[in-house]
Structure 1
């Protein structure tokens, strides 16, 4: 679970990122989960774009993605999510609580 200070730190880092995962009409499929896991393994912090064609609520998408991948939600801004999961050897050093 991320603290408020850590979420602020991650939002600052995520500002310049481009979305690497897109959730569309098929909602959260196995392919989306696999892509999200791969992206988190290599980047730790990723942006996920939710398209207009997605029928799910954005908060529901965030909850399901984070639960399925074991990640933490740093931000929901419009139809964009910022998700963080530390790698086995973390490259990002989060501020203490």
Structure 2
């Protein structure tokens, strides 16, 4: 579980990033996990975030606007050192 301090640190790291994935009208499914919720998405962004966390076994850092920030620690190529 991420602490508040760790979440703030990760939010600052993610702020300048452009979302790589998008969730559209079809929502989230098992085969394709996508992470900027488009306006035409029929699912609630919090439900999308939950599905992404569960499907990717990651942790939710924040949901802001239509952007979801997730964190999953790398076991082989750790690049972020959490405080």
User: Structure 2 length normalisation: TM-score?
Assistant: 0.92
Per-residue deviation at 1:19?
0.3
SS, match of residue 19 in structure 1: coil
Relative to its length, the structure with more helix (as a share) is 1
Supply the RMSD in Å over aligned alpha carbons.
Answer: 1.1
Relative to its length, the structure with more strand (as a share) is 1
Measured in 1, the distance between the counterparts of 2:32 and 2:46 equals 16
If asked which structure has higher relative contact order (CA below 8 Å, sep 6+), I would say 1
Per-residue deviation at 1:26?
0.9
C-alpha distance after superposition, 1:60-95 (max 9, x if no partner): 100111011100010100110011101122111001
Residue 8 (1) aligns with residue 46 (2): no
How many pairs are equivalent? 82
Q: Where do 5+ consecutive residues of structure 2 fail to align? A: none
Following TM superposition, where does structure 1 have runs of at least 4 consecutive aligned residues deviating by more than 2 angstroms? 29-33
Pick from 53, 62, 68: which aligns with 2:55? 68
Measured in 2, the distance between the counterparts of 1:88 and 1:69 equals 14
Measured in 1, the distance between the counterparts of 2:66 and 2:10 equals 18
